[in-house]
Structure 1
């Protein structure tokens, strides 16, 4: 797949995953209104546009390093979690920090995000790969 197609696939995956998962958490766990959640999701789009492809590259690198040692579905699941956690947690910390939070608040917020990032790592990795495959298939059919 071309770099352009991978960029589009990775961006589509992160934005759509973020909308569905983010809205679900905001509406059903955090108790936000639909309007508040839509506003939050709209604000997340520029960040996701910036980090989607770098995350895809980072995840591919993490997976390649692990597969040099051992392969299998369990390793893929663990590496998806490791990649998602180690990439997204610092991004989240920066976002919270730039909102005016104190260092203690940033640390507390990040500790609260750990479980969510661990739970979302593998599903997002599977979804991102599905989007990449879907975009690659579209390339073949139109070529």
Structure 2
């Protein structure tokens, strides 16, 4: 797949996944109003635009490291969790920190996100790969 297509696929995956999952959590768990959640999701788009491809590259590297040890679905799940936590947690911490939170608040917020990131890691990894497959170049059949 070309770099351009992978960038589009990774960006589409992160924005669409973040929209659906983030809005669901905000509405049904955190109790935000629809307006608050839409505002939050709109604010997340620029960040997702900046980090989507970088995360895709990083995840590919982490997955490759795991596959050097063994290639099975359990290892893929573990490596998706490792990639998601080690990449997304620092991004989340920076976002919370730049909102004016104290260091203690940033740490508390990150600890609160830990379980959610673990639960979302593998579904997101599978979804991102599906998006890459959707955006992949298809071989064209030439007719005589």
Same fold, judged at TM 0.5 (above): yes
Partner of residue 28, structure 2: 28
Task: List structure 1 runs of 4+ shifted beyond 4 angstroms.
Answer: none
SS in 1 for 2:138: helix
Structure 2: segments with no counterpart, 5+ residues: none
Q: Kindly report which structure 2 residues correspond to 1:12-51, keeping only aligned pairs within 5 A, or say none.
A: 12-51=12-51
Q: Do residues 65 (structure 1) and 65 (structure 2) align?
A: yes
TM-score (norm 1): 0.96
Partners of 1:23 and 1:98 in 2: CA distance: 21
TM-score w.r.t. the length of structure 2 is 0.95
Structure 2 counterpart of 1:79: 79
Match of 1:140 in 2: 138
Q: Quick one: distance in 1 between partners of 2:5 and 2:82?
A: 25
- Structure 1 stretches lacking a partner, 5+ long: none
Q: CA deviation at 1:68?
A: 1.1
SS in 2 for 1:140: coil
CA RMSD of aligned residues (A): 1.1
Q: How many residues align?
A: 141
Deviations, residues 62-93 of structure 1 (Å, cap 9, x unaligned): 00111111110110011001100110000000
Q: Look at both structures and tell me which one has the larger radius of gyration over its CA atoms.
A: 2
CA distance in 2, matches of 1:5, 1:96: 31
